[in-house]
Each structure stands twice: as C-alpha cells, then as structure tokens.
Structure 1
Amino acid sequence: MKDVKTRAETLRRTIGHRVVDGKDAAVVTVSQSYPTDADDLWDACTNPERIPRWFLPVSGELRVGGRYQLEGNAGGEILTCAPPKSFSATWEFGGGKSWIEVAVIPEPGGYARFELAHIAHPEGDHWETYGPGAVGIGWDQALLGLGLHIDTGAAVDPSEFEKWSLSPEGLGYVRESGNGWYDADVAAGTDPDAARARADRTIAFYSGT
C-alpha cells in the first residue's frame, strides 16, 4: 500500500437527493482519478475477468436486462450500458433494493475518472444514525482496490487486503474516509454536530470498535 492517506483525501465525495419511484432518495457519489485512459478504466470495471482483481468475483449475464451477482455481496439487474462511458444497475442486498450509476470520464494528461453514485431510499433510522459513510466508506475501500490494480496491473489479494484493513494504516484509512464523508455531509447542509456523531458511529463500525 502506498500513499493511502493521499488516496483518501483526493476522493471527491458529494451528497444529493432525487425522487425515485415517487419517494425521496439519497444520492451518495464518490469519484477518483486514475493514471490510465478511459478505455482501460472502463475495461477494469466491466470486464468479468478484471473485476475480481480489485473488487469481487462476479457472475451472471452482464448485459442490459441481465442479472449479475457479486460473490458474497449484492446482485441485481443491469439497467443501462453505454460503453465506454456509463452503466447503471439495481443493487439488491439483504432484502433491500437501491441503485448504482457508474461513469468513466476522460481527463487531460492520460487520466480518467471513475465516478459512482449510490442511490437509496433511507430506511428506518439508519440514515440518521450512520449517514452517508455507511455506504461511502465501503465504496472508498473499493476505489482504493481499483487504484492498486490500475497502478500495478496485478490482482489485489482479498486476504491480504482484509489483513491490511485491520492494520493501523488500514484503520487510519477508515478514519480519513469517514472524515471525508463528514465533510461532505456538512457541505450538503447537515448540522455539524449531527454529522460528526453519525460519522463517528460509522467509523467505529468499520473499525470493529
């Protein structure tokens, strides 16, 4: 792992809202720029042979209207796909349903940006208790894995990543990530004290404390 604190600090994080199925939904968006072109970044996040190298093994029919399943995690339906620019899908896990929208954006100097929006209807008091970091920290960790894969071309060893995530450096990344989501929460209009309390609860959850 290298420049982990810098990776956490250079993520862009925003929080918004939109109406989905007639109800207000929270939109948690994270993005990161990578030193590769858009075609390679698109391949890294859509090729079923490369996705497991930084995220999770995926199975199913990876086409519009098809269903996918991430091993041990979410599954869903692929709703749209416009190579090499964007795709969207449902995100179904634990009986709940939300949505993801992924965009690959070319940038100057041989860079490309990965942007992911996770859209969900707040359920019960979960949003008020944990805030955007509840999904945001997990996606930050995924984008860290993507960056390591882009840097080296190699697969990220899941067992080594899990071991690292419990190390002082890994726990530091969780704190940096959680604080980044705190900043985004305040920027979206949340009372700073309330945002701090739910960010701290989410950091504690991800840290196992």
Structure 2
Amino acid sequence: MIDIIDAIKRARREVGENGETKTVVISRRYDAAVEDVWDACTAPERISRWFLPVSGDFRVGGHYQLEGNAGGEILRCEPPSLLKVTWVMGDAPGLSEVEVRLTPEGEESTLFELRHVATAPPEMWSRYGPGAVGIGWDLTVLGLGLHLAGGSIDDPGAWQASEEARRFMTASGEAWGEAHREAGESPETVAAMVGNTLGFYLPA
C-alpha cells in the first residue's frame, strides 16, 4: 500500500513557459547515496526494474529506446551528477529534452531533479497543460523511490488500473495544476486543464 499523500508531498513541481517552449520540473530527495541513485538511473538492468526495459548504445552520442515509450540521443553523461537526453515519442517534431541532475546532501541523501523542456503544440497545451507529461513523471519518481527503498510494484499493469493508482494520478494532476497556478496561469484555465488531463488518464 502506497501513502499517496506522502508520495505527492515529497516531490516539488515547477512549470515554465516561453512561447511554445514549455518546461516542467519535478524534484525529490531520496534516502540513498548519490552513487546508488545514479546507478539506478543509468544501469539498463536496474532501469528495467523500476521504469521500463531499455536498449541502445549507452554513450554520449549514442541512442536509447525505452520499450513502448520514448527514445532519443544521449547528449551529456557526467557521473554521478548529470544525464541529458533527447526525449522523442514516435516522429513528434520539435524540441524535447530531459535532464536529470543529482546533488548529494550527505552520505545517504540525494536531491533528484528532472527537467523536461519541449515544444508543445498550442492546441495540446491549452487543453491539457503540464499534467499531460507531469503525471507520467510523478509515476516515474514514485517508481524510483520504491526501487531505492528496496520495494516495487509487483504488477505495474494491474496497479495502474487500481483505485490506489487512480487516487495517485488524481493527486498528481491536481498538484501540477497548483504548480501551474503558482506560475501565473488563471485558476479557471488550470481547472479546465486538470479536468481534461484526468479525463484522459482516468476515463470513467
């Protein structure tokens, strides 16, 4: 059983906009050494245990592919603190990059920060806002946290259809809405975006 409220509150979220270029940032502290968090984020055999199976040429300039998800080029890799990749779903045009920064805060504590910068089609952003990708990143941060603590979700597919997962994604969507309001978006627009996003992730 996951403490939904605790998992959501542990993460900090930010939203930035510069024309069609949008930025979502999620950060969280993990009770693990920076080397362990780095290994969990970069070793293919560990990534498959908390995220998705990954294949590719794991070097700067090489390409990776997450099974059934995004792929792209490895732009920077500076152990144990910085990983930057392009993040492409299918043939989607435009900028899309993900940067992960790890900062040690003592021997057994690490600040994890993930920044996703992308060109968002205006019609998509105006309908869904940051929660469209933010909920997925919340699920990613949750999975990494469980893995680092020695746990896991036994059947991710079944879990995502569970009432617990619905509560988690609802809380995540609302948290991204709050971050968007703090960035200056109107409450009415945010409420519509959150409703549309949750309707997509959690159809009746």
Short-chain TM bin: over 0.9
Is the CA contact 2:33–2:107 (under 8 Å) kept in the aligned structure 1?
Answer: no
SS of the residue 2:87 aligns to: strand
Structure 1 residue corresponding to 2:129, chosen from 117, 128, 131: 131
Aligned residue number for residue 50 of structure 2: 54
Matches within 5 A, 1:15-164: 15-17=15-17, 24-97=20-93, 98-108=96-106, 110-152=108-150, 156-157=153-154, 160-164=155-159
Structure 2 letter corresponding to 1:32: R
Structure 2 letter corresponding to 1:193: E
CA distance in 2, matches of 1:102, 1:96: 22
Structure 2 letter corresponding to 1:206: Y
Q: 1:140 to 1:115 in 2, by over 3 A?
A: same
Is the CA contact 1:53–1:156 (under 8 Å) kept in the aligned structure 2?
Answer: no
Deviations 1:28-83 (A, max 9, x none): 01112111010100000001110001000110111100000001111100011111
SS of the residue 2:77 aligns to: strand
CA distance in 2, matches of 1:67, 1:128: 31
Structure 1 letter corresponding to 2:8: A
Deviates more, 1:103-112 or 1:172-181: 103-112
CA distance in 2, matches of 1:203, 1:48: 31
CA distance in 1, matches of 2:9, 2:185: 21
CA distance in 2, matches of 1:197, 1:118: 23
Aligned residue number for residue 167 of structure 1: 162
Deviating 4+ runs (over 6 angstroms) = none
More strand by share: 1
Aligned residue number for residue 10 of structure 1: 10
Structure 2 letter corresponding to 1:191: S
CA distance in 2, matches of 1:101, 1:114: 11
Is the CA contact 2:153–2:159 (under 8 Å) kept in the aligned structure 1?
Answer: no
SS of the residue 1:96 aligns to: coil
Aligned residues: 202
Is the CA contact 1:14–1:188 (under 8 Å) kept in the aligned structure 2?
Answer: yes
Deviations 1:86-123 (A, max 9, x none): 11111111311511011111124721122111111121
* Aligned-pair CA distance for 1:24: 4.6
Is the CA contact 2:143–2:152 (under 8 Å) kept in the aligned structure 1?
Answer: no
Structure 2 letter corresponding to 1:50: R
Is the CA contact 2:30–2:111 (under 8 Å) kept in the aligned structure 1?
Answer: yes
Q: Percent identity?
A: 45
Structure 1 letter corresponding to 2:169: V
